[in-house]
Amino acid sequence: MAFAKIKPVPEACAQNAVLYCRFSSEKQKENSIDFQLHVTREYCERKGFNVVGEYIDRAISGTSDQRPEFQRMIRDAKKQLFAYIIVYRFDRFARNRYDSAIYKKDLQSVGVRVLSAEESVVAGDEGIILESIYEAMAESYSRKLSRIVKESLKETARKGLTTNIAPYGYKSVDHRLVIDERAAEAVRLCYKLYAEGKTKKQVTDALNAAGFRTAKNGLFKIENVTRILKKRCYIGENNYGDVERECPRIVDDKTFYKVQDLLEKNKKQYGKKADKAFFALSGKMFCGECGAAMVGDEGTSKGGKKFYYYTCAKRKKNRSCVKKSEKKDFIEWYVCEQTVKYLLTDERIQDISERVVALEEKDSGAQTLKKLEKQVSDIDKEFSALTDKLIATDSPSIIKTINKRAAVLEQRKATLEKDITDLKIRAELKLNVNEIESYLNTFRSGDLLDEEFRRRMIHTLINAVYIWDNKVCIYYNVRGAESVSFIDALSDVDQLSECSDSVTNGSPAKGTRKRAFCIYIRKK
C-alpha cells in the first residue's frame, strides 16, 4: 500500500494557500460564499498562511466533481504555486468520500494539502482512516475501472467512431471526425513554421498574431503547440490501442516526420534534480506558543550539508514568536513512536476497525446505485415510447424532435451507466474488520526511520499536533469530529498536566471537551 511519489512544493510557496468555497443552493445563508471567505481568510491569518487565490463555485452540488472552479483549482495545484487548499468544511471539497480520497491523493503527489477552517478531521469519526485506505486501494480500483472503460472504448473504435473529444483541427459529426477548416489552418501553420526552424515560442506568437485561438477560445500557449506537433491524427492515423482507424488528413507525411525529427533533436536534456524533503506534519502541526502553523524550513551547514526543520510560520515571517525550530526527522519519528506506543494497542485497533467498517457501510452508495439503475430503466422506457412514436409518424418535424430527444437520452444513459459501473466496482472492494485491522497493524511493525512509512502513518492517524519547546499534545483521527483550536489545546494541556508530570495516556481528563483521542507528553 505504497503512496505515490511526492514532488514537494517549492520552499518559496510553502506558506501559500488558496481558498475554495462552494454552496449548492440559493437558499443557503449561513454557508454563503462571503461567510466562507471570511472564515477561511481568518483561519489563514491565524495559521500564518499567505492567501494567493480564491476558487468559488456557486449553486453547484458537492456530490459531483464537475465543478468548473474546482477543476481549475485541481489543475492549478499541479503548478505548485501553493501548498494548501483551505475550505470552510470538508463537505465543501467533496461529499463523496471516495472521490475526496482520489483527489486528495492527486494533490498529495504535488505536495498540496486540503485543510478545513472549521473541522480538524473529515466529517465522520474515522473518515481520514477510511480515506487513507481508499487511497491505498485506488490503484487497484483504477486499473479495474480502466479495463472496463477501455473495452467499451475499443468496441466504439471498432465501429470507426471517435472515442474522445475531437482533437484540435477537427469536429465530431455523428461520432466521426471531420475537418474544422479554420482550426486546420492553425495546425498547418504550426507544422509549417516549426519545420522551417522556428521555435515553439515563435510558433505560439505567430498563431496568436494571426488571430487563431484554442478550442476553448483562449490564446495559444507553448504546451498547446507541443501537443499539436505530436499528434498522428494529422496524418490520418486515429488508432485506439490495437484498433486501427482512419481520419481526414491535415498534414502531409514529409512535413510531419520532419517535425518529429526536429522535436527529438531539440529535446532538452535535464540533469537529475536532487529530491526535496517532504514535511509529513505540514498542515497538522501547530505552534504551542502562538497557534500558527509549523512550516517546512531548511538550512545549510558550512560544509554544504542540508538540514530540514519545522519552524513557526510567524517566527519565520516576522520573528514574532519565541518557539524554537524542530528537527524534521526527529519530531516526525517521535510523534510516530508515541503513536505506536500509546494508540495502536490490540483493543484500540479493534475498536477503530469496527468504527471504520460502520462508516463505510454508511458511505457504500447502495441507495445511490438503486436510484441510478431506476433512472436507466426510466430512460429505456422512454426510448421504447419514442420508437413507437417514430414508427407511427411521417412528419419530418416530429421525426427531428424525436431524434433530438433520443440523442439527449443516449448521452444521459451513457453517463449513468459509467456511474453505475463505478459504484459496482467500489462495492467489490468493500472492506471488513479483519482487513482494516491488518492495515492498521502494519503501523506497529514498520520502520519508524523510514520517511515514507512515517508519512503514511501521519497521514492516516494524526489529526493535529500542538508543540511547545518542552511538551507535545497529539490528537488522533479516532474519536469525535470537533475542531481542535489553539485555545482547546491550551486548555487540554493545562488539565492533562494536572494528572501527570510525565505522560498522560488515554481519553482527556474529566472536564475537557469530547473530541479526538489525545495524549499529552513531555518531549524526550
Residue 138 pLDDT exceeds 60? no
The rounded distance, in Å, linking the Cα atoms of 331 and 312 is 14
CATH architecture entry for 11-118: 3-Layer(aba) Sandwich (3.40)
pLDDT of residue 383: 85
Share of the chain above pLDDT 90, in %: 26
Assign 288 to helix, strand or coil: coil
Write down the pLDDT at residue 180: 92
Q: Are strands 462-467 and 285-287 parallel, antiparallel or unpaired?
A: parallel
**Segment 414-438 mean pLDDT:** 74
**Exposure of 265 by Cβ count < 10 A (0-12 exposed, 13-18 middle, 19+ buried)?**
exposed
Any idea which residue has 499539436 for its cell?
Answer: 228
Domain spanning 167-266 has what CATH number?
Answer: 3.90.1750.20
**Element (H or E) spanning 465, and its range?**
strand 462-467
Give per-residue pLDDT as tens, 210-249: 999 998 888 999 989 999 999 999 998 877 666 677 789 9
In this predicted structure, which of 69-83, 107-121, 414-428, 438-452 has the lowest mean pLDDT?
A: 414-428
pLDDT above 80 (res 208)? yes
Confidence label for 182 from pLDDT (cuts 50, 70 and 90): very high
**Domain limits, the chain:** 11-118, 167-266, 279-364+432-524, 365-429
- 8 Å CB contact between 313 and 15: yes
Q: Which of 103-107, 161-165, 470-474 has the lowest mean pLDDT?
A: 161-165
pLDDT at 498: 47
Report residue 108's pLDDT band, with 50, 70 and 90 as the boundaries.
Answer: confident
Tell me the pairing of strands 462-467 and 471-476: antiparallel
Rounded Cα–Cα distance for residues 198 and 189 (Å): 11
Strands 113-116 and 84-87: parallel
Say which residue, 441 or 8, is predicted with more confidence. 441
User: Higher confidence at residue 166 or residue 28?
Assistant: 166
Name the percent of the chain lying above pLDDT 70: 73
pLDDT in tens, 473-507: 888 876 544 556 788 788 877 766 544 333 444 43
